[in-house]
């Protein structure tokens, strides 16, 4: 194994040496290592004095580790610049081809670039944090608890890893350094949101939550590396494509993948859609499992957040529903559309979330819905509503709605998984468009029609059952 890693470290050594010969990299790193922590020390001192004047010691306690995080974060932002340039920069300078001609394996080259982009800024980050903490000691400021300091160091490390992993993916796929820099906003913006959220947690939340953030970022970074390697193609790195938005090409590919060579709609349903559904066997199993887990979890929330519905309100539920149906246009087409669109919108949001998280967050809307359903069901049963009655309110439309949502979510999960799977001869964009087409096939072919029927039932049938069940 060590012998296999050797070529990667040959790359690391060269890259790091090259970086330390470039004043444009050295200057900010040195500045952020030496100058910036002193500024932060001064800021910390001023703010501590200010907050202590008003007895806000809690803020003061949390300010010190927060500033430690900021001191650590700034140098690792340099890693983004280095990583973005790692492949596409060599491509622009034509130095990539001799590397590609060498007997390096793809993963060795990739790992070498990944490590070399991470290590110098990370060392600078550690040094900066050490200088900051040293300054605190000199100024007799109480240091944060060791576990919090460790947390900040680990968080900084995994954030650097995640940012570099994302930037290297961008660098392997971009056609020029300019394009890579422009695409970096896809990394900078989410990371800045993450930092803001972490800051909130540090000041007002439970700091131990940040360990979960560490786990999440590590998994996400690992997925990014997996994706980068899966779509690393020597051929693409030598391409001479210009940076143009190929809308027509993308549209044509999407349409072609969506049609799947079907001769007519019947053929499309029988051959193309069924093939897509067959490919969902594993994600369907996973999503079904998650649905069950969410339902069970939802029911357990009752013990913490539960409440009892007053008996008189339950007794009048039938009458209330009757009154509601008088004022609310329950049996109209607009209501059907409203419910249908609400469901579709959630599935689209799931897809969008899935796109940016390799399917992981795409399951959240369904899980949240099922958890809420489980919770409501549990609240109703503990309030004395028979389970059969609850099922009668839910099952008529749910029997279509839930499987449709499970199917759509499984398609999102699969799309994310495929993105992280090697697809020789295809670019990330081609794979992504094929995934989108697959999701559309399932949506258009099965999910949307099923949701229309479910909405019809929910408007025309379920309320009548509800009145019948609750009226009695």
Partner 1 sequence: MIKADGLTKYFDNFLAVDQVDLTVSEGKVLALLGKNGAGKTTTVRMLTSILRPSAGSASVAGYDVVRQADRVRASVGVLTEHHGLYGRMNSGEYLVFFGNLYGLAESETRRRAATLLERFGLADAAKKRLGEYSKGMRQKLALVRALLHNPPVILLDEPTSAMDPESARIVRDAIVQLRAEGKTILLCTHNLYEGEELADYVAIIQNGRIILNDTVENVKLGLLGPAEYEARLAAPLDGILPVLPRGVELRSQGVDWLRFRVTDPAFDNPLVLKSLLDQKLPVVVFQEVPRSLEQAFLWAIRRTDEEVSDD
Angle at 341 between CA 415 and CA 465, to 5 degrees: 115
Nearer to partner 1, 6 or 140 (CB): 6
| Least distance from partner 1 to the Cβ atom of residue 254, Å | 16
How many helices and strands, by DSSP H and E, does the chain display? 25, 0
Q: Residue 387: how many CA atoms within 13 Å on its side-chain side?
A: 3
Query: What is the rounded CA–CA span in Å between residue 11 and residue 99?
Result: 10
| Least distance from partner 1 to the Cβ atom of residue 259, Å | 18
List of residues 6+ apart from 269 with CB closer than 8 A: 445
Nearer to partner 1, 7 or 228 (CB): 7
| Least distance from partner 1 to the Cβ atom of residue 198, Å | 37
Nearer to partner 1, 94 or 206 (CB): 94
Residue 12 structure tokens: 């690391």
Based on the number of CB atoms within 10 Å of its own CB, is 78 exposed (0-12), middle (13-18) or buried (19 or more)? buried
Q: How many residues does the chain have?
A: 472
Query: DSSP secondary-structure letter at 383?
Result: T
Q: Residue 394: how many CA atoms within 13 Å on its side-chain side?
A: 15
| Least distance from partner 1 to the Cβ atom of residue 9, Å | 9
| Least distance from partner 1 to the Cβ atom of residue 13, Å | 8
Residue 191 structure tokens: 């990371």
Residue 115 structure tokens: 């490590």
Residue 62 structure tokens: 């949390």
Query: What is the rounded CA–CA span in Å between residue 150 and residue 144?
Result: 10
Contact 197, 111 (CB under 8 A): no
| Least distance from partner 1 to the Cβ atom of residue 95, Å | 3
Nearer to partner 1, 10 or 376 (CB): 10
Nearer to partner 1, 261 or 329 (CB): 261
Contact 463, 321 (CB under 8 A): yes
| Least distance from partner 1 to the Cβ atom of residue 294, Å | 44
| Least distance from partner 1 to the Cβ atom of residue 258, Å | 19
| Least distance from partner 1 to the Cβ atom of residue 256, Å | 13
Nearer to partner 1, 97 or 319 (CB): 97
Contact 437, 414 (CB under 8 A): no
Nearer to partner 1, 71 or 109 (CB): 109
Contact 471, 318 (CB under 8 A): yes
List of residues 6+ apart from 147 with CB closer than 8 A: none
In the complex, the residues that contact partner 1 under the rule CB under 8 A are 6-7, 10, 14, 17-18, 21-22, 90, 93-105, 234-235, 238, 424-425
Nearer to partner 1, 53 or 94 (CB): 94
Nearer to partner 1, 102 or 208 (CB): 102
């Amino acid at each position: 194994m060590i012998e296999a890693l050797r070529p990667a470290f040959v790359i690391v050594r060269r890259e790091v040496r090259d970086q330390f010969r470039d004043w444009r990299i050295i200057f900010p790193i040195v500045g952020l290592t030496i100058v910036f922590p002193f500024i932060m020390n001064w800021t910390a001192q001023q703010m501590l004095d200010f907050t202590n004047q008003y007895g806000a010691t809690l803020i003061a306690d949390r300010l010190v580790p927060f500033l430690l995080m900021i001191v650590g974060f700034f140098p690792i932002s340099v890693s983004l610049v280095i990583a973005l340039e790692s492949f596409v920069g060599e491509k622009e300078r034509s130095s990539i081809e001799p590397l590609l001609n060498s007997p390096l394996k793809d993963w060795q080259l990739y790992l070498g670039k990944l490590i070399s982009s991470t290590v110098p800024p990370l060392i600078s980050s550690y040094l900066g944090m050490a200088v900051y903490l040293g300054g605190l000691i000199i100024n007799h400021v109480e240091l944060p608890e060791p576990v919090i300091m460790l947390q900040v160091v680990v968080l900084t490390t995994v954030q650097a890893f995640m940012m570099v992993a994302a930037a290297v993916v961008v660098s392997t796929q971009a056609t020029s350094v300019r394009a890579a820099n422009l695409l970096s906003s896809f990394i900078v913006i989410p990371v800045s949101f993450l930092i803001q959220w972490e800051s909130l947690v540090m000041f007002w939340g439970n700091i131990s939550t940040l360990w979960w953030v560490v786990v999440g970022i590590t998994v996400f970074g690992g997925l990014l590396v997996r994706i980068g390697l899966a779509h690393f193609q020597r051929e693409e790195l030598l391409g001479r494509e210009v940076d143009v938005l190929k809308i027509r090409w993308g549209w044509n590919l999407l349409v072609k993948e969506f049609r799947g060579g079907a001769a007519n709609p019947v053929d499309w349903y029988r051959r193309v859609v069924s093939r897509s559904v067959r490919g969902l066997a594993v994600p369907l199993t996973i999503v079904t499992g998650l649905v069950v887990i969410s339902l069970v979890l939802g029911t357990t929330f009752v013990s913490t957040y539960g409440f009892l519905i007053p008996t008189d309100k339950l007794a009048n539920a039938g009458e209330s529903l009757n009154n509601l149906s008088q004022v609310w246009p329950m049996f109209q087409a607009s209501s059907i559309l409203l419910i249908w669109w609400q469901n579709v919108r959630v599935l689209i949001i799931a897809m969008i979330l899935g796109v940016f998280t390799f399917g992981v967050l795409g399951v959240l809307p369904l899980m949240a819905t099922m958890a809420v359903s489980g919770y409501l069901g549990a609240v109703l049963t503990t309030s004395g509503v028979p389970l059969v009655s609850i099922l009668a309110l839910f099952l008529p439309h749910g029997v279509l709605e839930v499987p449709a949502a499970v199917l759509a979510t499984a398609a999102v999960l699969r799309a994310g998984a495929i993105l992280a799977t090697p697809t020789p001869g295809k670019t990330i964009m081609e794979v992504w468009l094929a995934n989108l087409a697959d999701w559309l096939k399932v949506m258009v072919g099965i999910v949307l029609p099923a949701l229309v029927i479910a909405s019809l039932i929910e408007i025309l049938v379920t309320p009548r059952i509800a009145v019948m069940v609750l009226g009695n």
